[in-house]
Amino acid sequence: MNRRNFLIHSTAAVATVSLHSTPLIADVAAEEARVTVLVVDTDRASVPIDKRIYGQFLEHINHSVEDGLFAEQIRGPGFEGPDFQTYWEPISQQGHVEIAELDFQNGRKSVRLRVDGGEAGIRQRRIFVEANTKYDGSFWVKKENGSPKLTLRILSSDGNVIASLPLAFTGTDWHELPFSFTSHLRDTQASIEIIATGHGALLIDFVSLMRSDVRHNGMLRPDLLDALRGLEPSFIRWPGGSFASTYKWKEAIGPYVSRGYHPNVYWGNYSGYAGFGTDEFLGLCRRLNCEPLIVLAAPTTKQEDLDYAMSWVHYLNDPSSTEWGRLRAQNGHPEPYNVRYFQIDNEPMNNGFTPESYAEIVNLYGNRLRTIVPNARIVACGQKRSSDMDWSEKVIDIAGQNFDILGCHNYEYEPDNFASGIDRIRGYLTKLCDYVRASGHPNIEIAVLEWSLQHTYDWRAGLHAAGSLILYEELSPGLTMTCPALLMRNTTDDPKWTSAIYHDHVSWFPGASYVVEKLFRQHFAPRYLASATGSVRDAANRTFFFDKISTRIPSGWLPDSVDAIATASDDNRRIVIKAVNYRDNRSTLLIRLQGKAAPERATAILHTINARLNAQASLESPDVIAPVSRPVTYAKDLTIDLDPYTVAVLEIRTT
């Protein structure tokens, strides 16, 4: 798409009305001055909007996966690092509990219980059990001497016994002891205890506990899976983020107990057992019917680093007759995953790369990827900040032949810039698209693979999400993929990074951006028709309308507060209008449908979300911010009144 055609899509083809150009423009009274006009010409040739604009990004950060989406209830199951001191309590009466330094599977620590007529054991609190629900799990045991006996107990928060299970074991080798029980009550603060009695010593390692049905159905927490399903992601980017740059994929496949332990050194140094790995992630994508985007670690140009990354690609896509395909089949997945999207590392500037040295990485890794997966869509890392055009331009010029998509990041870090940040992002994306079209690689796609309003999850984040998604739809097909960050996080963590889904170990609530993302995704329509921005008012409150990209606003004139876009289904029988009013003034959106495809008869449903700027949900009040829907009378000329700080979606269906 050349510069002229890009501007035709972004401006001339939009439904805004340029200055002094239409009978719709008129002087208006002061109390009616805040008006935006959206003219939807159904006869005008439309352009596609890529559904990949509605992607998601799952990073191992703030317990989004461990103690989050991954349904394992035991924290620190293998006692590695500081896990025993952090998550477990010793129990001792005429006994002794200690950490034993020895090799077990991929770990180096176990718990030793010694008893001499009393008891010794370990306890972990903050276990969630639901009434009339079956749980199962296991732990590993090795007898060292004597003949100690073992009991597993589940206790309620007030100390009553929910389950008490004697567990028999024989021999002196390591072996797994399975257990199961059904809870008769709901308790969010239950405890699990493993108790040795009698005489002797034994070793305990790798404790696991999950709901039985969940363990056998993907090991994903059902409520968080449903929350993610509500967003209908077209793709999910994984495993990071910064976490991806050091990710060891080989230690996150195979039996759960034998997987590696890598604390999350980027985000809090918390426990890092790789229970959720490649096969679990691909299972998640299949359940959500979305594409996976795998981020490959690419730390150097050394052959061993290149081979390590490419062996992951082979594991994902090779037939089961090959070395890596056989390993995947042994892990329960004989059919290739046929992954098509691969990103070459993440934010390499954080790891000391210059654009030139990173471009060398892209040329090396991208060339190998094209050999292994000829139909791959390869993502290179673009700029991290909107002001850093130099990074993206050099990567395009030096390595553009070896990637297909330039994945940029853009956060707005000041919550009060929830509206003004949209124009900043529009400006840099427009410049970047222009650079690509004029470069030697004009078919490179632009993506924004991390974005959001940071440092708040109140309604400002929702307004920013609405404006961002309207912008991304408007810039398609020059812009093809986006995914916000963060997707989910534990409420006990430092809330610096904004998220869509907030959870504890029991339930969750939506951040403001989640509510908007879900509403917009539910009403996605793949053809762009028109877009509009707010009016411009002079000191006398006379109102005119301007072109979003090209208009120069005269000194002393003020832009009003509404962004809007009209899209349609492929058959034009469904028209969707999305709008956002960023300000504390009431605004009016005037909609005119014209052209042969404008329906004579239709039904219209208006969905609105309105809240105070500082409104935010919580675990106790998860529905503070929620859409309200109502039918409206259809006509080709429609008026929508937008209260302050309102997001609206109008869906028109031909009858």
* CATH classification of the domain holding 558: 2.60.40.1180
Query: Domain boundary residue among 191, 214, 237?
Result: 214
Burial class of residue 162, CB neighbours in 10 A (0-12, 13-18, 19+)? buried
Domain range enclosing 613: 3-49+526-654
Do 513 and 397 lie in one domain? The reply is yes
Quick one: what percent of the chain has pLDDT higher than 90? 82
Identify the residue with better confidence: 224 or 171. 224
64: in domain? yes
Q: Is the per-residue pLDDT at 44 higher than 90? A: no
**Mean of all residue pLDDT scores within the chain:** 90
Do 295 and 204 lie in one domain? The reply is no
416: in domain? no
Do 285 and 199 lie in one domain? The reply is no
Q: Residue 7: what pLDDT?
A: 29
562: in domain? yes
- Residue 497: pLDDT band (50, 70, 90) is confident
Do 352 and 305 lie in one domain? The reply is yes
Q: Is the per-residue pLDDT at 547 higher than 80? A: no
630: in domain? yes
Residues 539-567, mean pLDDT to the nearest whole number:
53
Residue 148 C-alpha from the chain's centroid: 47
Q: Is the per-residue pLDDT at 378 higher than 90? A: yes
- 293-314 residue pLDDT tens: 999 999 999 999 999 999 999 9
* Residue of 395, 365, 400 whose CA lies nearest to 383: 395
Do 97 and 167 lie in one domain? The reply is yes
- C-beta neighbour count of 387 within 10 angstroms: 9
Q: Is the per-residue pLDDT at 25 higher than 60? A: no
Residues 416-430, mean pLDDT to the nearest whole number:
92
Q: What is the CATH number of the domain that holds 255?
A: 3.20.20.80
Q: Residue 269: what pLDDT?
A: 65
Quick one: what percent of the chain has pLDDT higher than 70? 90
Q: Residue 495: what pLDDT?
A: 63
Count Cα atoms within 13 angstroms, Cβ side, for 591: 32
Q: Which residues contact 521 (CB under 8 A, 6 or more apart)?
A: 54, 231, 232
Q: Lowest mean pLDDT: which of 139-148, 157-166, 298-307, 422-431?
A: 422-431
Residues 482-508, mean pLDDT to the nearest whole number:
90
Do 613 and 485 lie in one domain? The reply is no
Q: In what order do the strands lie in the sheet with 47-48?
A: 47-48, 527-533, 562-568, 574-581, 646-654, 602-610, 628-632
CA distance 340 to 369: 10
Do 431 and 329 lie in one domain? The reply is yes
Do 592 and 629 lie in one domain? The reply is yes
Query: Domain boundary residue among 214, 232, 256?
Result: 214
460: in domain? no
Do 540 and 587 lie in one domain? The reply is yes
Do 362 and 403 lie in one domain? The reply is yes
Residue 134 C-alpha from the chain's centroid: 30
Q: In what order do the strands lie in the sheet with 543-545?
A: 543-545, 535-537, 558-559
CA distance 655 to 425: 39
298: in domain? yes
36: in domain? yes
Do 599 and 509 lie in one domain? The reply is no
366: in domain? yes
CA distance 276 to 549: 45
- Name the DSSP class of 227: H
Look up residue 33 and give its two tokens.
Answer: 């001055």
Query: Domain boundary residue among 522, 541, 563?
Result: 522
Q: In total, how many domains does the chain have?
A: 3
Q: What is the CATH number of the domain that holds 169?
A: 2.60.120.260
Residues 315-344, mean pLDDT to the nearest whole number:
98
Q: Residue 271: what pLDDT?
A: 61
SS3 assignment, position 603 = strand
- Residue 265: pLDDT band (50, 70, 90) is confident
Identify the residue with better confidence: 118 or 550. 118
Do 273 and 314 lie in one domain? The reply is yes
Residues 437-441, mean pLDDT to the nearest whole number:
97
